[in-house]
Structure 1
Amino acid sequence: MSPSDRWLRDPTASESSSVQNLNAYLTDPNPQTMLIQPRATPSARWTEEIEMGIGGNTRRAWLARATATLIPGMLIACGGETASPAPAAPTAAPKPPAAAPTAAVAATTVPAPTAAPKQKGPPVEVSFNTWYDAVVPPIQPLFKKFEEEFNVKLTVDLNASNRDTAKYTAWFASGTAPDVVCGDNFIWSKFYNANAILEISDYLKRDKIDLKRDYVLMGSEIWCGKTYAFPFDADPRAVYYNKTLLKQAGAKDPWDDFQGKWTLEDMQEMMVKTARVTGNSGTDVYGVRTDAWAMSESNGMFIWTWGGNWADFDAMKYSLDSKPALEAQEFIKGWYDRKLIMPNAVQAELGGGEKAFGLGRAVFRIRAAAAHSTIRKEIGGNFEYDIAPFPGRTKDQPGVTIVSGNPHTVSKTTKVADQAYEFIKWLGGPDIQNFWAKEKVQLPTLKSAQAEYVRDPKLHTQVFADSYKVPYGIHFRHDNTRRHYDEYAVEMNDVFAGKKTLADTIKAFNTRINNEVEYGSCLPYKGSAVPIKP
């Protein structure tokens, strides 16, 4: 029996054996397995095979394509990258199913959704998997209200390590995915394209919910004209800063002196006046704690603020090697060379995460709204802090931040589609969003709840909500986003270490990854201009 046959005939195997079988399947020498070649869009035959979703070589051919693109980390661990095609385009938009299809991700013709009445008898079990342990625990006590209202028993799997592409792949390929998942939004388009996620447009239409009108979005809830994800949180980036350090150094303050209209040059002057790096890991204070080796946050923010673009969303191409993009990255490198940016090794030595800033070892911290609770906890009473918008290049043009979020999706194979949809709607609804706003846990994605969140007599928390009132950016999502982000970090760390020159490295890197952008049969951002103008 070939490895592919073993995997196909044993979908209930343990997770470890399933991953091993997936691995074996991808390297199966069986001549019946179709040779995989990279392409930007899927073939018509492949699309037809996904729609059929039945046995024999058709199913094996689909699984070869659907899984090969989904586990780049596993492929690298097995001895190098394997070329893989983009997943197939979704079939015609299905209506949410009343029962699970028999095939793992087969397209199904189902009746239009109806309101989910409270079921009689034993509670309906809805499984919920999320990696998002930063904001879910505070709302778990509220789950009881949902369970009682809909006669549902929630089974919650909360673990940060759940953001595992290989695990997601095994779930969807074997038809064992949880009913509701908060997954890795950087690679979730793979599962949209493979028809593994329930399309929820009919539910939204029934409930008269307009996501674009009622919510601030992170950029991939709607994919290729179809809605797959319900918003959960809003996560723009801003600049946390240590007011105490600035005062002690006699430096200017982003709010006290500039009323929030500050520039990168202003920020640099504050860092130069305040930072003290002598090589003593016990006392050194750096200018800023930020991931200067990260493509999107924060380097992409610098590039947009510089007036350039690091990706052409409309054409689905990277532009990291464009003139303004290279200038912005050289500017960042200049900060690093001057020891204004805290090296990755130093922040790791100090405990990682938000600990370095909380200990007063960096004047500024560029980070997301979701980090606020953690940052506040790490600071404790150590010093006075505030939050400023990302600085502009000039005073008359605000800086361009990046916004993100972690929406929820319903797995296509769920047997409880109505209840699963009601749960993701509830998570994005007033019960949770107003709680977040009142308790200052997280910036609500529901627009009507944001006013309460930003009502703070001490801190300028409104900068998070205001991020959507000026041009802002989103992540450049496609099938290989996660891998490209990781590889960019490796290249930039080599540049910072003096092993490579920046311009030559970025030009070569940009050329290579543009040959690896895979996204299905449509241009998902067609007609979109990023930064997005409100």
Structure 2
Amino acid sequence: MRRGISIAAAVTVVALTASACGGSGGDSTGKPKDPKDISGTITYWDTSDAATEAPTYKALIKQFENKYPKIKVDYQNIPFTDIEQKFKSAAKSGKGAPDVVRTDVGLMAEYAELGYIAPLDGTPALKDTGDFSSVPLNTARYKGKTYGVPSVTDTLGLLYNKKLLKQAGIAQPPATWDEFIADAKTIKEKTGAYGTYLNPDSYFLLPLLYSNGADLADPSAKKITINDGAAVKALTTAKKINDEASMKVDFANAYQNMQAAFKNGKVAMLIQGPWSVGDDLSGTAFKGDEKNLGFAPVPAGAGGKAQAPTGGHNLTVYQGSGNLDAGYLFTQFMTSAPSQIEIAKGTGTLPTRKSAYTSEVTGDAKIAGFQPLLEKTARARVALPQAGSLFTPLAQNYVKILQGDESVQGGLDATAKEFQKLLKGFSVG
């Protein structure tokens, strides 16, 4: 991840800003352009799954081109793992960048700080904002401006095997981390299945941090907080889950083994996202018995509040686009309620507009299961351009803590030192 803007990049940003100002949203009189008069070709970079999701987006693009026949869309499906570096390279050089790009919410602050994406406040792209759920919309904001339009969203929740909990005599899924640990032990004792499988990835640590009043950093105070008392409490709880409640973690293949154990009934509870449900339902514990899969909020911490990170994607418009008007119009169309309904039905992803949760959409069990969690527990992640880079040192030290190679405080202090290399001017508490 880039730690700052180089002189060359800064020059590029100025140039992009200047070019963007010349093609905003009006004619020579300053009046907004009639959408029917907008023409040209725009390139759209999509990161949806090429096999299972892209056909839905391609069908919507045909609808857009039929509605606005003067605009053509050059659709390109870019692997999710490749798009960040590909877009940053193209945007920095000013060559080959798309007009509209599907952007992971975790990258919004970095792209905005670098000047690669255009603020959308007051443009046709950002329409009917009152219909958006507040949390997805907050992921698009940075330093008082809105740089994207929420397209699809997700969060983490507690997925559980209803039959295993019932067999263990547990009437309701755990509401706190202490209950989570206690229930996991009871499940193992009474059913033979493990209570949980701890995912050692740092993203999945966020519910523990948030629910204990901790975070990676405090941008307003310019302070690194990952090693403060609240974070120590969160990591101490994570270590207890690993040592007392979890199936033994294979750190080399944790995610795959976690999924296999849960869907086949060897594990009763997981902290997971909606993307896993299709795989979950293919296992012996749920196949043909979809109602056995339960959905609940992540447990609450010492502060009594359950919170989980918001994921998903926003549509963003390249600051240096030669056809901003068409880009705005395309973004508006693809994030409209009718489009989000089609996307939800075709891909099973969660809409960001409240009106898109129709009875047909919520007929999907995972959408129905996660929709209330978005409103109850989801929150935007810390808005820092370096946020994505912070997860790497946190993950490395988190694993050392779980394996007993570092104390909780020692591992978090080491993490804070690495954060300080990335967050220039930030102090360590």
Sort the TM-score into its range (normalised by shorter chain).
Answer: 0.7 to 0.9
Counterpart mapping for 1:429-444 below 5 A: 429-436=336-343, 441-444=348-351
Number of the residue aligned with 1:514 = 420
1:129 aligned counterpart, secondary structure: strand
Q: CA deviation at 1:358?
A: 2.2
Q: 2:396 aligned to 490, 501, 517, which one?
A: 490
Q: 2:99 aligned to 176, 179, 182, which one?
A: 179
Partner amino acid, structure 2, of 1:362: V
Query: CA–CA distance in 1 between the matches of 2:409 and 2:48?
Result: 36
2:312 aligned counterpart, secondary structure: coil
Query: CA–CA distance in 1 between the matches of 2:61 and 2:171?
Result: 42
- For residues 317-346 of structure 1, the C-alpha deviation after alignment (integer angstroms, 9 at most, x for no partner) is 331211121011111111112251552547
Number of the residue aligned with 2:263 = 358
Number of the residue aligned with 2:24 = 97
Query: CA–CA distance in 2 between the matches of 1:271 and 1:196?
Result: 46
Number of the residue aligned with 1:125 = 41
> Which deviates the most, 238-247 or 431-440?
431-440
Query: CA–CA distance in 2 between the matches of 1:216 and 1:373?
Result: 27
Q: 1:226 aligned to 139, 145, 149, which one?
A: 145
Q: Indicate the structure with greater helix content.
A: 2
1:190 aligned counterpart, secondary structure: helix
> Which deviates the most, 401-410 or 371-380?
371-380
Whose Rg is larger? 1
2:76 corresponds to 1:170? no
Q: CA deviation at 1:143?
A: 2.8
Q: 1:200 aligned to 103, 120, 125, which one?
A: 120
Number of the residue aligned with 1:475 = 381
Counterpart mapping for 1:28-177 below 5 A: 49=11, 52-53=14-15, 94=21, 97=24, 113-117=32-36, 124-133=40-49, 135-151=53-69, 152-175=71-94, 176-177=96-97
> Which deviates the most, 110-119 or 317-326?
110-119
Q: 1:262 aligned to 167, 175, 179, which one?
A: 175
Partner amino acid, structure 2, of 1:146: F
Query: CA–CA distance in 1 between the matches of 2:29 and 2:67?
Result: 26
Q: 1:291 aligned to 199, 204, 211, which one?
A: 199
1:431 aligned counterpart, secondary structure: helix
Number of the residue aligned with 1:404 = 311
Q: 1:427 aligned to 334, 341, 347, which one?
A: 334
Partner amino acid, structure 1, of 2:313: N
Partner amino acid, structure 2, of 1:392: A
Q: Indicate the structure with greater strand content.
A: 2
Number of the residue aligned with 1:189 = 109
- For residues 75-106 of structure 1, the C-alpha deviation after alignment (integer angstroms, 9 at most, x for no partner) is xxxxxxxxxxxxxxx89x9585379xxxxxxx
Query: CA–CA distance in 2 between the matches of 1:313 and 1:110?
Result: 41
Q: 1:306 aligned to 212, 219, 242, which one?
A: 212
Contact 2:127 2:332 in 1 (8 A): no
- For residues 190-249 of structure 1, the C-alpha deviation after alignment (integer angstroms, 9 at most, x for no partner) is 332232212222314xx883536634343341222222211101212211111122234x
- For residues 381-414 of structure 1, the C-alpha deviation after alignment (integer angstroms, 9 at most, x for no partner) is 37721111112247x9452222222101111232
Unaligned stretches of 5+ residues in structure 1: 1-25, 27-37, 55-89, 100-108, 256-260, 277-283, 520-534
Q: CA deviation at 1:262?
A: 2.4
Contact 1:181 1:409 in 2 (8 A): yes
- For residues 238-272 of structure 1, the C-alpha deviation after alignment (integer angstroms, 9 at most, x for no partner) is 11111122234x231436xxxxx722233223321
Structure-2 change in CA distance of 1:166 and 1:201 (3 Å): same
Counterpart mapping for 1:320-399 below 5 A: 320-338=226-244, 340=246, 343-345=249-251, 347-348=253-254, 351=256, 354-377=259-282, 379-381=286-288, 384-393=292-301, 397-399=304-306
Q: CA deviation at 1:156?
A: 2.5
Query: CA–CA distance in 2 between the matches of 1:246 and 1:466?
Result: 21
Contact 2:184 2:245 in 1 (8 A): no
Relative contact order, CA 8 A, sep 6+: which one is greater? 2
Number of the residue aligned with 2:411 = 505
Alignment coverage as a number of residue pairs:
414
Partner amino acid, structure 1, of 2:116: A
Partner amino acid, structure 2, of 1:127: T
1:183 aligned counterpart, secondary structure: strand
Partner amino acid, structure 2, of 1:444: P
Contact 1:241 1:385 in 2 (8 A): yes
Query: CA–CA distance in 1 between the matches of 2:58 and 2:10?
Result: 42
1:186 aligned counterpart, secondary structure: helix
Q: Percent identity?
A: 18
Number of the residue aligned with 2:355 = 448
Contact 2:60 2:334 in 1 (8 A): no
Structure-2 change in CA distance of 1:312 and 1:193 (3 Å): closer
TM-score (norm 1): 0.66
1:390 aligned counterpart, secondary structure: coil
Number of the residue aligned with 1:415 = 322
Partner amino acid, structure 1, of 2:66: E
Q: CA deviation at 1:148?
A: 0.9
Query: CA–CA distance in 2 between the matches of 1:449 and 1:322?
Result: 41
- Alpha-carbon RMSD across the aligned residues, in angstroms, is 3.9
Partner amino acid, structure 1, of 2:102: C
Contact 2:101 2:317 in 1 (8 A): yes
